[in-house]
Structure 1
Amino acid sequence: MNMNRFILLLLIFFTTSICYSQEKKSIKETIIKTYYNDINSAINHYKKLKKETSNEYNFEDENELNNLGYQLLKDNRKEDALKIFELLVSEFPNSFNAYDSFAEAYFLNGNKELAIKNYIKSLELNPKNENAERFIVNVNYESRDKNKFKIGYTKQQYLEDLDELANTLTTVNPHPYKFMPKEDFWRVVEEKKKLITVTTTYSEFIWHCSELVANINCGHSSIPMYFIQESEMLPANLRFPIELYNINGKLYVVDALINKKMVKSGTEIRLINGKSSTEIIKDINKHISSQGNVGNAVKRHLFNGQSTAMIPYSFGFPKRYEIVIKGKKKPFVLNMLETYQFQLKNLNSCKETLCLDFIGEQKNTALFTIKHWDFYGNRFSIIKKFIDDSFTEINNKNIKSLIIDVRGNGGGNSWGASYLLQYLAEKPFTYYKVAPPNDAKLKPFTPFDNRYKGAVYFLTDGRASSTTGQLLALAKHLNIGTIIGEESNGAVFYTAGQKMLSLKNTGVFYSIGRYTHITNVDSISENGGVLPHYYSVQTIEDYLLDVDTPLEYTMKLIQNK
């Protein structure tokens, strides 16, 4: 036998033997096949196997138990999952991820105190564990004092917090002056300081803070939770006593509340306490965070949900309101509220987070709705399965027109958007041009063999932000479909990876974006959002009658095609 050939065969045999000897059975799969329905017995079986046959099973990989725990959570067996995660931390006491999972299981079982304790332990093992850090801050946010409206701090405390806020915004966010010149930003800071007096209240101060945060024009930097901090502490008798709707820069009554006898729904309001609707919207918009130099679209949606609170903050909490309506010259005084409960109106037919419906007379148009992309970690399998199953059904039914509704989708895990694009794109694409170095979306994606080949339409609005803006930017750049609605909240440039913080003295919570992400699109400006091919929003009449104007417009496009 040729010596080289003999050596080659020997190497192959040796390598195969090593690989074979290293193969170990999955302890997770073993438990699932044997004692999955009895976790106490499963744990005893685990310990017995480890003691008697440790070389046959994969006890070294902590993901075996970790994945088993999440499988139990997925099956809604929370208490059993907790037992597996308890075993996990005892087996891997130096693993930050084990304590992170243990903490999540405690939280899902309703034990917030032990959840925090284990997240703190996880942070001790890995100070860079942002999930643990985020959870602890969020718990503090949820347990915040919600009755601080009239509380006052010293002038010095307010000034210190303004300095802290301004300095943190401009050092943590990597691009604080991209959309607003540095000198303008700091000029506003000094203007706010001059407004602080010994009688300044917490409610007045947080209104000042919101303008500073909004001035860096970062969609991931804001006073968090859509004006909730400001709204929740506002007494009902100081609210503006009519719900308003901003459409194309005009203010319309959608619910007159206690003033129904004086003003009808659908009425346009021209003046409030002597200020025009244009002036009011301009002032309020300065306090609403958005991405880059986007137009009115994103800001009007937040106003529409919080008009009864935002107007009082803008006016300095007056105890009396008088309005002038279209067609009338004389103002009249409104009745003030005693109680108030806002009812959020659903703007599309989908009642769940993920929906697939077939619409039209022949049910030959697919309506595919995703309300957010918040499917991280093990939960990503949920949205992946939804997308896979949806396109299997769409293709099997030979659907020629697909409407993708992302209105109100404020973003989330960009893996969901990139996965969806693989069903829509005709050629390979790269999701990001710039992102943190370890982000795999900097590499090309290949479209799926069973990609959808029919006509695609996107429904969007000003609330479509972050990952959704990226999806729309790539779709428009790659000529994937037709976009209907209004400008999205950003498109190409984002500073994501937001971190929630609170000011030292006043405890105002705020979020800051930290990591630069630039979508791989050269045909759309970094300064704004994705402009639709066809602009379509509800008129006030359609809103009051629950008519989905953009969807009806899209159906007409499909019919006329």
Structure 2
Amino acid sequence: MKTFVQIAACCLLTLVAHAQTHKTSQEEPLLTVQQLTEDFTRFRTALEQVHPEMYRYTPKRTYDSLFSATAGKLNQPMSRKAFFVTMNPLVAALHCGHTKWLVSGRDEHYPFHQDRLFPIKLYFVGDKAWVVANYGSGTIPAGAEVVSVNGQPIASVIRQLLPWMTFADGNTINGKYADLNEFFSGFYATYIGAPASFDIVYKSNGGEKIVTLPAISEKTIKDAQQSHKPAPQKPFRLTFTDNQTAIMTIERFWGMGKAEDYKTFLKESFQQLKEKQVQNLVLDLRNNEGGEEAYGVLLYSYLAQKPFRYYDHISIRQKEKFSFSAWTPKFYGMLRHLIKKTDEGYVWPYHTGVKEQKPQRDAFHGKLYVLLNGSSFSVTTEFAARTHADGRATFIGQETGGGYKVNSSGVFTIVQLPHSKLDLGIPMFGFHMAGVDRYPHDDRGIIPDHTVVPTIDDIISGHDRVMHYTLQLVQPKSAGVSTANLSTTK
């Protein structure tokens, strides 16, 4: 997520989704070749006129070939689902986790099937998957390793699904795994199949077993997720392990209600760190998908050791009005004349992150440890990239889902295709991080200094392997330290 504008855009998409109802793809009339062609043309035109970094990861020549190949498949009537799947590779080729390809009226993770869904919650690492819990009336024990689903090896299932998934920038992959862990049932139904039952082979107690389980509904999954949802905590928290070490948890870079809550939290927290003369700060940004850019800039101002520039520039595709009908934020139309033409192309010049920033008076000068995973995305990845490029911290966990050097997000254009009524949400701003040229990977996220991957036992038991590893790294003589012993002060 990015900025109040994006949040508003996401809210609009949600309102559209809940305001409309549609028949299943089996009941809908087929789209004609002419309708498919017109929707395809609108789709392509929108991407080419809006996305600021369309050819960053896929060269234009390759993209043009992909467009031609896709157009060649639209030579006979097809269902809305078939069209959705046929067009998906064009979205995936952007390698932009913020671009959304949605079915109006549906949760984006369950676009066509509200029933006949896989009945088990799984945890994925590499080419393996384990059972976390049963959504329905299944009896597969938690911790069992899944060998195959309906005769297909689980490694093959994973390889088949990953190319369709888009929650990742560049060639990062952990964001996709984070999505698999949460929404495997929806991805399987959309891209592999939605049978009435599933034959599941699994390993448990040293032997293989097979069980046939009935499919379940989206409602069953969401009810189960809600019932197992952890007790809510404040999104911004500061805890102390001892008089030398503190843990700051920031679950999101946006507020609910008063924006001052975040600013006040940072001000008071860093005052405490200074007063207590804390030497080690663990900053937990796992599962933080982002928010408002200014929140990341402000946080880094409390950690920077010298004046800094956060962004090099903010790219934008064009200054002219679009040639098609679409929703864009009202303020963008009013301020579009501010867009400037530079050597980098069109840029949005007015953002606090482009200007040089000074460290805060109470900036922290001790050792910094940053925890990341595949759901660390958008603003979180921007902040981590700035911190990493300046050599300010030690990074622990898993590679981010967002890209290191560029993040396309900010303001969004939402296009609804005229016949299929599918929605394409396109980010309009390309945030180019300053001073990141030395990073050797143009298509990756922040790769941790210490990669720590939770096991299925950690997931089931709730053991925080990453935090435990970090505290051992920070306090090697206190190997027995546990997050259960932390004293919360916020």
TM-score tier, shorter chain, comes to 0.7 to 0.9
1:239 equivalent to 2:152? Answer: no
1:504 equivalent to 2:418? Answer: yes
2:167 and 2:179 in contact (8 A); partners too: no
2:31 and 2:419 in contact (8 A); partners too: no
Alignment of 1:498-537 (within 5 A): 498-520=412-434, 521-524=436-439, 525-537=441-453
The Cα of 1:554 is off from its aligned counterpart by 0.8
CA–CA distance in 2 between the matches of 1:169 and 1:158?
17
Deviations along 1:252-278, whole A, 9 cap, x unmatched? 1111334643x2211222222232323
CA–CA distance in 2 between the matches of 1:315 and 1:249?
17
Alignment of 1:26-425 (within 5 A): 139-145=15-21, 148-150=24-26, 151-156=28-33, 157-192=35-70, 200-223=78-101, 228-231=107-110, 234-236=113-115, 238-258=116-136, 260-261=138-139, 263-326=140-203, 332-337=211-216, 340-342=220-222, 343=225, 351-358=233-240, 360=241, 362=242, 364-375=244-255, 379-425=258-304
1:432 equivalent to 2:311? Answer: yes
Change (3 A) 1:252 1:135: closer
CA–CA distance in 2 between the matches of 1:189 and 1:320?
36
Deviations along 1:488-536, whole A, 9 cap, x unmatched? 1212112223322222112212211222211012222332101011111
Point out the more displaced range, 337-346 or 524-533. Answer: 337-346
1:242 and 1:259 in contact (8 A); partners too: no
CA–CA distance in 2 between the matches of 1:241 and 1:192?
33
- More helix per residue: 1
1:134 and 1:500 in contact (8 A); partners too: no
Stretches of structure 2 that go unaligned for 5 or more consecutive residues are 315-347, 478-490
Percent identical among aligned pairs is 23
The Cα of 1:212 is off from its aligned counterpart by 2.3
- Report the residue type matching 1:523 in the other structure: R
The Cα of 1:386 is off from its aligned counterpart by 1.4
- Report the residue type matching 2:467 in the other structure: L
1:492 equivalent to 2:405? Answer: yes
2:413 and 2:427 in contact (8 A); partners too: yes
- Report the residue type matching 2:60 in the other structure: K
Stretches of structure 1 that go unaligned for 5 or more consecutive residues are 1-103, 105-128
CA–CA distance in 1 between the matches of 2:228 and 2:58?
34
Deviations along 1:162-215, whole A, 9 cap, x unmatched? 332233223311322221233443444455556668774333433334432121
- Report the residue type matching 2:236 in the other structure: L
Deviations along 1:383-418, whole A, 9 cap, x unmatched? 211111111122222222211111111122111111
1:429 and 1:446 in contact (8 A); partners too: yes
**Equivalenced residues, count:** 428
The RMSD of aligned alpha carbons is 3.1
Structure number with higher relative contact order (C-alpha < 8 Å, ≥ 6 residues apart): 2
**Corresponding position of 2:487:** none
1:460 equivalent to 2:399? Answer: no
CA–CA distance in 2 between the matches of 1:455 and 1:391?
14
> Which one has the largest radius of gyration?
1
CA–CA distance in 2 between the matches of 1:416 and 1:349?
25
**Corresponding position of 1:541:** 457
**Corresponding position of 1:5:** none
The Cα of 1:337 is off from its aligned counterpart by 2.7
- More strand per residue: 2
- Report the residue type matching 1:355 in the other structure: R
Change (3 A) 1:500 1:355: farther
**Corresponding position of 2:362:** 450
The TM-score with structure 1 as length reference comes to: 0.69
2:283 and 2:369 in contact (8 A); partners too: yes
**Corresponding position of 1:473:** 385
Deviations along 1:272-324, whole A, 9 cap, x unmatched? 22323232222222222244433321101111111111112121323332233
CA–CA distance in 2 between the matches of 1:345 and 1:487?
30
1:218 and 1:513 in contact (8 A); partners too: no
CA–CA distance in 1 between the matches of 2:369 and 2:121?
32
Q: Secondary structure at the match of 2:414?
A: strand
Change (3 A) 1:340 1:211: farther
- Report the residue type matching 1:205 in the other structure: F
Change (3 A) 1:348 1:398: farther
Change (3 A) 1:432 1:276: same
